[in-house]
Amino acid sequence: GESVGLHLPTLSVQEGDNSIINCAYSNSASDYFIWYKQESGKGPQFIIDIRSNMDKRQGQRVTVLLNKTVKHLSLQIAATQPGDSAVYFCAEKKVRDFGNEKLTFGTGTRLTIIP
């Protein structure tokens, strides 16, 4: 069945350093992979996605890498800031008929930025 999992439940990083959050997936039929950030008391917020036929995509301070050979996804955050402290989820998206899309989320990694 479908499953998206994360290697580490918690990660602490010094402010200004780079952080890498990893995710393993098992469903090769996914169309997109997405990273969400969830702060306490808020809903998940879209960070960046990558289409399944791509290997790398860059955004502002974030880079997502997709390795389909080993079914591994990672989120790199450059020059971390206190505001980056949150729980990060990877999710896989399957696009279905008529524009309908299904998201399957992993468990999440809590990132803590140390001042």
Cα Rg of the chain, angstroms: 14
Q: Which residues bind other proteins (CB under 8 A)?
A: 4, 31-32, 41-46, 49, 51, 89, 91, 93, 95-96, 98-108
Q: Identify which of residues 18 and 107 has a Cβ nearer to other proteins in the complex.
A: 107
How near is the Cβ of 109 to other proteins at its closest, in Å?
A: 11
How near is the Cβ of 38 to other proteins at its closest, in Å?
A: 8
How near is the Cβ of 30 to other proteins at its closest, in Å?
A: 11
Q: Identify which of residues 26 and 45 has a Cβ nearer to other proteins in the complex.
A: 45
Taking Cα atoms as reference points, which of 105, 101, 89, 87 lies closest to residue 4? 105
- Copy the structure tokens of residue 41: 């008391």
Q: Identify which of residues 99 and 115 has a Cβ nearer to other proteins in the complex.
A: 99
Give 67-99 as a 3 state SS string. ECCCCEEEEEECCCCHHHCEEEEEEEEEECHHH
How near is the Cβ of 64 to other proteins at its closest, in Å?
A: 13
Is residue 33 exposed (0-12), middle (13-18) or buried (19+ Cβ within 10 Å)? buried
